[in-house]
Amino acid sequence: MSTRITAVDVHDVRFPTAAAGDGSDALNRGDYSATYVELRSDARDGTVGAGLAFTNGRGNELVCAAVRALEHHVVGQRLEDIFADMVPFWRSLVADVQLRWLGPEKGVIHLATGALVNAVWDLRAKLCRVPLWKLLAGMSAAELVAMIDFRHIDDALDPQEARALLERAAPGAEERERELEATGYPAYTTSVGWLGYPDEKVRALVRAAAAAGWRDVKMKVGGPAGADILGHARIARAVAPVRVATGEVAANRVIFKQLMQAQAIGVCQVDACRVGGVNEVLAILLLAARYGVPVCPHAGGVGLCEYVQHLAVFDYLRVSASLEGRMIEYVDHLHEHFVDPVEVTGGRYRVPRSPACPRSAAGTPPPPSPEASFISASAPSTGRTRRSSPRTRSPRRAGTGASPGWPRARASSWTGSPPRTCCSASPACRPGPPPPGWWAC
């Protein structure tokens, strides 16, 4: 039975991170934000696709407006038609004749494209009743290659080479899946090292993370602009044999292609929603495999930890077939603001196994206690999350009662768990726990 996308809902969600320096680096010190997109459909069970673009403070307004400017390319489309001929659909978003001048394929238009494209994939995964990584891992090499726009990158990777890479990595995928199920995926934490933190706080957080089992931590530093390929190459030559990890602000597959061609990147930190969604991430994962560059996706921002675990697991199962040099970034006290926490223990991600939630249902689980809605900016990261025993949040930030304007978030095939918002959909962030019934499934 066909499924048609009937409407796009856009939520402007903000988080009060700047005051305590959470999430800060050499250049970015704003409040973490998310443009949260829901695709409604005519599916009999009311299935809704969810996607997001991570942004920073007032910039979220622009991305929300860009989603609304692009939504006419999505509303009315049959999901089966989109996936039968994905590249023209993707190009309709990145090359809208009246909006392309604002990019092309970068900036707010591309962020909006990523949110919409990821929501389309989420909708398909939910209808298939599988998490996103499982949907991707179950596709054939030919199907995966058909999802990718090779325009501007076929001088480095053409469809035949991409298919050969996927077919070469296919043997052993089931065994690797069992391995991840048993041991998890390696992770490192960034919670210890925001540049806005005083040195003593960084030391205390590193000690706490080490005590909790973390062996790898990250301190964010600045670098050249995302499109300064020659600047990155100059740094890479200067610090060799130390590898340069970059890519979180690289706008598209072409930038990644050039970084790799120029030997300017030693670790690929692709961002799941700065580029144009799953389709473009697939191209970048294959480019990295072509050039032998390990992929450690950029996370950190609210919702990104949930995004990237699916892409990293797929990369291991179907593209790289190796964990050498690969880890997933985890940010304990930031990603909890947005979604039900992923489970990390002793520096290993639990592989998402929960099937996608197909619809809003009665008899939903009770919402968490008020102290579970926020985490203190001064609380040390433990390096792991426990669903049944949330850490106490700062009384200054915890609230009582419902906050008006909260979007009713739905479970995503990216997470297997309902998104947890901690801010209203209005421009002004309203601290406090979500209202009763925020669990939509």
pLDDT digits (tens, 9 = 90+) for 164-184: 999 999 999 999 999 998 989
More confident residue, 290 or 337: 290
Mean pLDDT (the chain, rounded): 78
pLDDT for 197 equals: 82
pLDDT digits (tens, 9 = 90+) for 214-246: 888 887 766 677 789 999 999 999 999 999 899
- Using the CB atoms, write b or e for 238-268: b if 16+ within 10 Å: eeeeeebbbbbbbbbbbbbbbbbeeebbbbb
Rounded average pLDDT over 402-429: 36
- What's the rounded Cα separation, in Å, for the pair 25 and 196? 7
The answer to whether the CB of 39 falls within 8 A of the CB of 75 is: no
- What's the rounded Cα separation, in Å, for the pair 287 and 205? 36
pLDDT for 84 equals: 96
Active centre residues (catalytic): 220, 298
pLDDT value at 431 more than 60? no
| CA 162 to chain CA centroid, nearest Å | 23
pLDDT for 423 equals: 30
pLDDT value at 374 more than 60? no
For the chain, how long is the longest CA-to-CA vector?
A: 59
Give a three-class secondary structure readout of 62-83. Answer: HHHHHHHHHHHHCCCCEHHHHH
pLDDT value at 361 more than 50? no
Give residue 192's pLDDT band: very low, low, confident or very high (50, 70, 90).
Answer: confident
pLDDT digits (tens, 9 = 90+) for 39-98: 999 999 999 999 999 888 889 999 999 999 999 999 999 999 999 999 999 999 999 999
